[in-house]
Structure 1
């Protein structure tokens, strides 16, 4: 496993110079800890924010990006200026790091995993040569402590902004710069994924606590498995899984976000070489796949800044570990909790879909992307231009569209980038595929084999969820009325709502008392709302059944919670109405046959799901700009 760096930015942002030498006010970092610190590894350090980047100069006058000095080691990052005389400011930071350096000399195995970085916020006086001399006065021994500066104040300011540091020059009563700065000391602990994991102020900056936090991060990463310590199946479900919450003896199985670490995948391979069971992927000639487009689309897909208030990304509805759908809600919820009337569909194999959205109103991913971006109850952007301008002014998108498309962001290229990423979310090579297409008789258990015989025979599922000789999309690319939409439109609203208030505790609440805390659910007439043809009332597209076990709840409104409920709904023949699809009829399946059909459906989960989810865990989520 790679080593982990330790980046140290000392921001000395504020203690007044006048109190500097008063021993009564010495910070705790100068003395022994007055308490026994927690043992490393007995606590966790959650991610605070992503570490900012910027252009810096080394003491050898070499130009580097700040992020170039992160990623291979843990990092302690500090901001100082060489002439500071405040004993509880910059000198405190360097003294604490000196103590750490002495400990590193005694622990060479730890020294290989840490990097200390000290950056000046006074580039006018602290030239690379000055920082080299400054560092020589503090650094002892052979460990990685680098002293940095910037070319000028203009180059420095974005770094200060990124770490939300307010450094101000101090002037005398005649308006002359005194050569000193007002600032508050902070030191940043940054992990190898470039995430800030702790921030130390004067009262908390101590060599013992810093070393303890470093060892804690190393212990969390060392087994390679902060994910593997958690069962894989728990990483492919809601982090706060409420399964069996209705039972009084419910116990939480929640998984912390920090355990959901990922590994980037070579996504283009899933598109150009689809897994067993999928046909060749159709790709538009005017948007051929390239790694640059896919990487850009992935960044956009997970970027919360693409919403009106910088909180909501595509991935908040299409959650990777929940089948790129949402297992926790029947229907989606958008910005500020605004209700969406339909279920969030899975995006697995969406590149093969000829109809998009539940009603099939769009037919290309490039066009579809703008629907959620502009919908008031989803991402709520007021206009196309608003989205484009936001991307253009985000520093971390600088040059990415030009590299991928040869031009700046436009409505067209934003849609093309998002579409390119989604076309890589192809998952197959399931137990069924290995048995049916791979001709491996032992790849599928007997119950699932009997379920497939029912699927193509007595149950007639394959009339709509088609299976070919060499591949299967399990979708006929058409719309059908099963009666679900009709039922929702025509049924009378209940007088009470069954509400769960705690594990195993339910109450019936008068529906009138809930009117103030929920919006009225709008009627849903399916594709009729688009075509205005009465024959299209309550008609919705046929979804693919691949990976269907991962994307509960089901149907366009999320009204069926489990695969068994879905099979039993079709076993009843749906719900009769004037436009009911001709294929809908009672199936007369026994309970055993229902179980076997469900077993077959569960055998459609692709072998590469874990790799796609892990790649998603590694994606940046987009931080809102500092205010």
Structure 2
């Protein structure tokens, strides 16, 4: 839907103008065809408190976002023919034209806001509007509680309005002001400003159609290429081909839309159990919004360049499809793969080795790690948030007047992460909702293998009414052992360009890279030799979106993962007794992969779009 918000500002003058404005007659030129030109955003539309004709309070922004908006300001007693009467005449022309174009009329809203609240009460605006409204057309008339409520709106639109006084200093009931009408898009951006010489029904409708054409084109792109939103933004697939064409998405193509995240926690999608929420950190909209803001804010890192979302990328499964292991501030290497955050609120073990057991506490690991966000201390983070203007009052609102601190920062980030719940997959609809045709035959065969011959469900468990696809335990599969203990020949595979690899003598790389630190899994925390190379069982939900796989990102595809388990992992003295050769044929392995692909949640798009809509904290400025 598109909203035209019309608020009319017209100038009263001492003498009647002799020349009528162009808006009263035919357009003296042929306008360009809709969509053949652009209307760049010229600023953000201001907000403010207003009253409707039923004397109900609301925010101006409440009337924007679902439709296009044309905004101007009036006062009911205006007698300037090129002021308020001009706007009224233009609006009548628009309403008459739109009676013949109902598909366009449904996408517009007209709003008329008075800048004379002393006289133009809600009842007065109701009577004033009755003479102009067209049946079935969305035209609303507004006023404000008083001049104090009105002034921030006038200031926000740089609208200068002055009262006219007589020689005795008495207010005459008229105002001096300039006519300006503001066209506002669904993202609450001002896209055009019309003055008395340019306000004309034909030009306004032309601009409206142009904005709608851009919105519909963007919607078509989203429908045709929705899958492209769930991959690396800088996609260089088939880079070496002679006819290569980029598949990368520009930032402008990634339109965000805020989601009701609390509902994903209160009513988890089909296939997920009730979400466990700590009693000392109940979920609230204010906490979730604050945690979301923190999650995407680069200013939480030492040098204001790195956020949680740079490793946990929404369109890449809240993981990172482009790197086997993560990279932190200033390109500092991290030993392990960035794990997906989908359904992380259900995890009893956190980090790949499961060394942490609460999201509230886990948040501080990346914030303080030298090779991640690199903050030197908890106090540094707390002090930065206390002095950052756009966080003023947000912690106090979310935590009953408690400001930023180690506890509240962790609780806010945890609250947001507990809403990233995604299920209602094709498998869920087939298995739990008993929809026989929800799952392809190959995936059904894959499930039989998953729960039977392949024995995947022993660790990736499935319940009667829900499935987390994890036993919440740690296992040694041999991946860590293979990386740490097996010898490597004199050649190393090096990527020199996207999709281009060379085998290089290891000796030629001395001094060009650093020796990768050994990774012993949970042993590094427990110091128990039996815990060497043991890592937690990850959930398999949305696994098709979260490549590469394993704690070190050593497998690029699901086919690689299934092949590894089919071989029985990598033997070592601590190998889990559950890991053994499976004897699956190539066809069976392919069916198993199809089952794993069927675990992608139906609401992934909503969570990705919400991530795109989140503010991004920039160094030196507000999000």
Tell me the TM-score normalized by structure 1.
Answer: 0.69
Deviation string 1:365-398 (CA, Å, 9 cap, x unpaired) is 2222333344455455542343355487447x48
Mark the CA change 1:387 to 1:520 in structure 2 (over 3 Å): closer, same or farther.
farther
What is the deviation of 1:5? Answer: 2.4
Deviation string 1:142-191 (CA, Å, 9 cap, x unpaired) is 69697989978999679968x8x899xxxxxxxxxxxxxxxxx9986432
Distance 1:378 1:567 in 2: 31
User: Mean alpha-carbon deviation: is it higher for 346-355 or for 312-321?
Assistant: 312-321
Mark the CA change 1:96 to 1:493 in structure 2 (over 3 Å): closer, same or farther.
farther
Deviation string 1:385-415 (CA, Å, 9 cap, x unpaired) is 43355487447x48741xxx43344443443
Mark the CA change 1:56 to 1:274 in structure 2 (over 3 Å): closer, same or farther.
closer
Mark the CA change 1:604 to 1:493 in structure 2 (over 3 Å): closer, same or farther.
farther
What is the deviation of 1:596? Answer: 2.2
Q: How does 1:146-295 map to 2 (within 5 A)?
A: 189-192=183-186, 194-196=187-189, 198=191, 211-221=205-215, 225-226=219-220, 229-230=223-224, 232-238=226-232, 241-254=235-248, 257-258=252-253, 260=255, 262=257, 264-265=259-260, 267-268=262-263, 271-272=266-267, 275-276=270-271, 278-289=272-283, 293-294=284-285
Mark the CA change 1:432 to 1:36 in structure 2 (over 3 Å): closer, same or farther.
closer
* Counterpart position of 2:297: 306
Please tell me whether residue 39 in structure 1 is matched to residue 18 in structure 2.
no
Q: 1:383 aligns with which of 381, 384, 397?
A: 381
What is the deviation of 1:363? Answer: 0.6
Distance 2:32 2:320 in 1: 41
Distance 1:284 1:62 in 2: 38
Distance 1:357 1:320 in 2: 18
Q: How does 1:509-524 map to 2 (within 5 A)?
A: 520=514, 522-524=516-518
* Counterpart position of 2:288: 297
Mark the CA change 1:47 to 1:336 in structure 2 (over 3 Å): closer, same or farther.
farther
SS of the residue aligned with 2:280? helix
Distance 2:270 2:54 in 1: 50
Q: 1:430 aligns with which of 414, 425, 430?
A: 425
Distance 2:371 2:84 in 1: 48
Mark the CA change 1:575 to 1:69 in structure 2 (over 3 Å): closer, same or farther.
same
Q: 2:494 aligns with which of 469, 493, 497?
A: 497
What is the deviation of 1:611? Answer: 4.8
Mark the CA change 1:349 to 1:418 in structure 2 (over 3 Å): closer, same or farther.
same
Please tell me whether residue 563 in structure 1 is matched to residue 561 in structure 2.
no
* Counterpart position of 1:547: 542
* Counterpart position of 2:173: none
Please tell me whether residue 407 in structure 1 is matched to residue 397 in structure 2.
no
Q: 1:356 aligns with which of 350, 370, 377?
A: 350
What is the deviation of 1:562? Answer: 0.9
SS of the residue aligned with 1:499? strand
SS of the residue aligned with 2:206? helix
Please tell me whether residue 462 in structure 1 is matched to residue 462 in structure 2.
no
* Counterpart position of 1:21: none
What is the deviation of 1:198? Answer: 3.4
* Counterpart position of 1:83: none
Whether contact under 8 Å (1:300, 1:306) holds in the other structure is no
* Counterpart position of 1:325: 319
What is the deviation of 1:450? Answer: 3.5
* Counterpart position of 1:479: 474
Distance 2:328 2:396 in 1: 30
What is the deviation of 1:455? Answer: 2.9
Distance 1:10 1:508 in 2: 70
What is the deviation of 1:333? Answer: 4.4
Please tell me whether residue 420 in structure 1 is matched to residue 411 in structure 2.
no
* Counterpart position of 2:176: none
Distance 1:390 1:46 in 2: 30
What is the deviation of 1:460? Answer: 3.5
Distance 2:439 2:254 in 1: 32
What is the deviation of 1:602? Answer: 1.9
Mark the CA change 1:481 to 1:570 in structure 2 (over 3 Å): closer, same or farther.
same
* Counterpart position of 1:602: 597
Distance 1:597 1:242 in 2: 28
* Counterpart position of 1:88: none
SS of the residue aligned with 2:277? coil
What is the deviation of 1:212? Answer: 3.5
Which runs of 5 or more structure 2 residues have no equivalent in the other structure?
10-24, 75-81, 125-130, 161-178
Distance 2:305 2:96 in 1: 44
SS of the residue aligned with 1:286? coil
What is the deviation of 1:240? Answer: 5.4
Whether contact under 8 Å (1:317, 1:344) holds in the other structure is yes
What is the deviation of 1:357? Answer: 1.6
Q: How does 1:48-87 map to 2 (within 5 A)?
A: 51-55=45-49, 65-76=59-70
* Counterpart position of 2:168: none
Q: How does 1:444-455 map to 2 (within 5 A)?
A: 444-455=439-450
Whether contact under 8 Å (2:446, 2:592) holds in the other structure is yes
Whether contact under 8 Å (2:460, 2:469) holds in the other structure is yes
Distance 2:509 2:192 in 1: 43
Distance 2:538 2:49 in 1: 48
Whether contact under 8 Å (1:57, 1:150) holds in the other structure is yes
Whether contact under 8 Å (1:497, 1:511) holds in the other structure is no
Please tell me whether residue 366 in structure 1 is matched to residue 357 in structure 2.
no
* Counterpart position of 1:177: none
Mark the CA change 1:157 to 1:607 in structure 2 (over 3 Å): closer, same or farther.
closer
Distance 2:515 2:40 in 1: 38
What is the deviation of 1:567? Answer: 1.1
Distance 1:427 1:72 in 2: 26
What is the deviation of 1:457? Answer: 4.1
* Counterpart position of 1:175: none
SS of the residue aligned with 1:342? coil
* Counterpart position of 1:4: 2
SS of the residue aligned with 2:291? helix
Distance 1:514 1:56 in 2: 68
What is the deviation of 1:564? Answer: 0.1
Whether contact under 8 Å (1:298, 1:418) holds in the other structure is no
SS of the residue aligned with 1:497? strand
What is the deviation of 1:103? Answer: 4.8
Distance 1:603 1:475 in 2: 17
